[in-house]
Amino acid sequence: NAGVTQTPKFRILKIGQSMTLQCTQDMNHNYMYWYRQDPGMGLKLIYYSVGAGITDKGEVPNGYNVSRSTTEDFPLRLELAAPSQTSVYFCASSPYQGPGELFFGEGSRLTVL
């Protein structure tokens, strides 16, 4: 059972480049999330989706975009990368609308130089 799969695991970008972090889940979960994790900080929500075709901003959406064309996939797009986007990015999913556990991917470590 794959769960939540993120690619790539590591990436180095130059300032101004763009890239897409891929996230796919095979659990048929409606709810999907993108978080970033910085040292000494809690996980911060970037974007979330409650189902295919529906996305909304979280706490720190600036510089990012998402799409949700299928239940399985929730890619995160970084446009014009900046050093402030150096972080570890986690995708998560949940079957619940109410309080429930999140299933996380293993993370994507991005460095912007």
Partner 1 sequence: EDQVTQSPEALRLQEGESSSLNCSYTVSGLRGLFWYRQDPGKGPEFLFTLYSAGEEKEKERLKATLTKKESFLHITAPKPEDSATYLCAVQASSGTYKYIFGTGTRLKVLA
Q: Tell me which DSSP letter residue 48 carries.
A: E
> Binding to partner 1 by residue 62, rule CB under 8 A?
no
**Within a 13 Å sphere around the CA of 67, how many CA atoms are in the beta-carbon half?**
7
Tokens representing 95 are: 């079957």
Q: Which is nearer to partner 1, 14 or 99 (CB)?
A: 99
By CB under 8 A, the residues from 79 to 98 that bind partner 1 are 90, 92, 97-98
Query: Which of these, 18, 11, 48, lies nearest to 32 by C-alpha position?
Result: 48
Q: How far is the CB of 14 from partner 1 (least distance, A)?
A: 24
- Applying CB under 8 A, which residues contact partner 1? 4, 31, 33, 35, 40-45, 48, 50, 56, 58, 90, 92, 97-107
